[in-house]
Structure 1
């Protein structure tokens, strides 16, 4: 009769657009607690919708809208997705359903209350567990149709274990199980609700097996970090070796989508060999690529060990080898770039030292044919800031250039004949010299700074090479304090700063910069290389 009612309900719900689900059968022993749980509907996004429980045991009843007193009278408790029957009786057997509000899906349950331990009841309520001899074992009491932990006013009261009807002082733990420990174990879960205990009983069928041999393993060869470098078009063989201890274990190859075929007519296939030695089974499954293609490089290949104990997987992917020529070319380009960068950096940092070294090494015996009589004309002028070179510094400058470095200098107070017009005499010295060095002095032994304005146009027109010696004081106050002609000449030439005592050593930065901006001396025989 109940089956006919259920079929009518399913027909009615289908006519109203509600989609029925497969009925879940739940077996419970009379007098014990059982909980039904309404699963989440994957097709519904209404996570906050109200769950409606309906009973079809004697007549259709909405259990959700019942008061607490009415639910207690029926011996049920509704909490969200859970429907708890505190002590199952024949009045509770029948069909139940749950739905999310007015959702288009319902979940159906059929509760079967057993007054005797029938074969079907024992089959549905027995749970097998396997342990191994001489190993620790903890029995697991099933958590099937138990109340949710957040069900109000229901608290767990522990678990009691029995074996085949006998009460045993066991908590379900064996430090080392033996063969005679096999058998049926009964665990009773107790729950306290309204100062009354309710029980749930489960049967665990413990099977004891001999201790498994250790050493089960899988090895891929060749293999390196899960990637194998190969050449396109090459023939490649990957051996998957598994050591196992059961005749039921097998090894297969997968390409990510399906099992690789054991057919050597395919471009990718596998074959295997099997050896049995004193109970240890060694199986080797060889994955063969006849000609490695681009498609093979885009896949991952997995060797899977199907075992009665714990399955294992080992995955490998193929990657194309870098060709030796490409690698050599890349390394060569990198090496050239490194050399270029290092050369540029060294050249920028040591350009003056390199230039002076090359000049002293390769140009020491060179003679110029430009018709000039002097290497440089030292033109001194009065410094308006009283920050020029004093007489001792000027004498040091002249003597070091001539006697130490071998330069031929034209000095106004020594090489200009008296009685000649100053401007004409200075222009003659400039004409006979390859470079003009402007030296600020105090006092002024030369023609004076006023003459600079007169010869400025001539210097620019002839594109005379200029070297402008300045002091640290004139460098700091250069803008606006120097005559306009001198400022213009300073911009067209190279500036070298005299720093007093620190510039006197022949290896100082001052002499290196001055010699770098001056041409190589014509009187090469006078040059004395620095130690």
Structure 2
């Protein structure tokens, strides 16, 4: 561009100089300097609309000014090379093609006007020419966002309006059309919101934006007023109605009252970043740049020891800048400093991120330290496995705690028969009625003796005739390791034998600790109906509930829970030897049977021994 201006200036000066010796320049034909085709001066016009071409030679007023060139004797000529032709032809003014100063007007443009146009500025001693391209588009060739948009061949201009602020919009090129019009042009406005696929023609149904003459006035700018605005200019020239359409992209920005100083969002203050020597290090700097002018370019950069990267003689350092966000005119820029093969001596360098705009400047330092390796993956995996195992063990214990407890007791539990002088493992206390007696004799006694191998004492079965009930009861309870109390609604009435058994068991458990009481709930009992001794026992002891048919199997929860409370029992050689000595016990059983028969005849005892084969050592 500088060479273009200097050449034009040289030709302009040469054109104004006189030939040597004072001879007339009319004797020679001036050489015309051809600048070729200008890529920046291409024009697109919609078919049927008015348009114009401006000679690019006058795009630099400091070199060529139309008024000064005319005064110096220069004349502007127009030529065109239409599409499909090989020869240039001069353009003469007509009702459709007209010249106005440095412009060539097409009122209106047709599809045949497409081609290359040349403007030539010459006088007797100098000549310059430049070409440009004109494209006439049909309406169906114009790309539109939504169907309701009017076709526009010219790129949209941009306007920025502060929120809650005001501004006036003028249709682009309106003043140029007014110079060519025979009267005052009129303007029609449209508003298009592409995200809603919605087009609105003025009026816009509110008082916050109104059309004043040919202009559109914004009194209060809102987010919803953003979008594309189209203005169609209508004017009359030489009896013809002409028009052209332009578009304006309106964007809402933060108002000028908002602080406009730049700020650094990342890295935060006092950040210490761990780095590993020999690795690739990325330092991220993100800055916020409030809008001041739409064309203002924000600045964000890194310095190393006070030097920018272009002055740093180290190819390991490079940076990239990009825009990461755009919010109502405010820009968020990111600059990444990339350090290849980070060295230990780089830790002593000073890394600063800086941002700058027209209002201010800010810088922030990034502190680096060497990253100490920690086996984070290994620790994380180990912790995860540990937590998983703990969770698994918790679930297993929650579901199988009874089985685990029984397994532990079978391995490490102590058989109490080797540590005390008790005769019975279990003494069963229950209410004396037919239903509970049936449960005790046919279920509890059978399983405890036959299936689990415990020695069971039942007063009605194992007591000898002729004794005192109180003394016999206390003796049996004292000679047992467990007192199993079958709790039911009819249990422990005041003064009954069951109450005596319960009191004896609780006293023995509280005083000597040589007896433990087990509560088995055969049927639900209301709390208010419990006697005082039973309430005391319920507070201190766990309750094993019988659940009917669900509890009959030996693998049910009832029997597992009951085995936890009963003494540890292992079936070994001692039990086998006791079974072999069963013949020695038969004589005792025969003697007991004979005595029970005698007592029943004399009426001293009303209860008979129901199963003589199960009485072992209750006789004294």
TM-score (norm 1): 0.44
- Larger C-alpha radius of gyration, 1 or 2? 2
Q: Which has the higher contact order (CA 8 A, sep 6+)?
A: 1
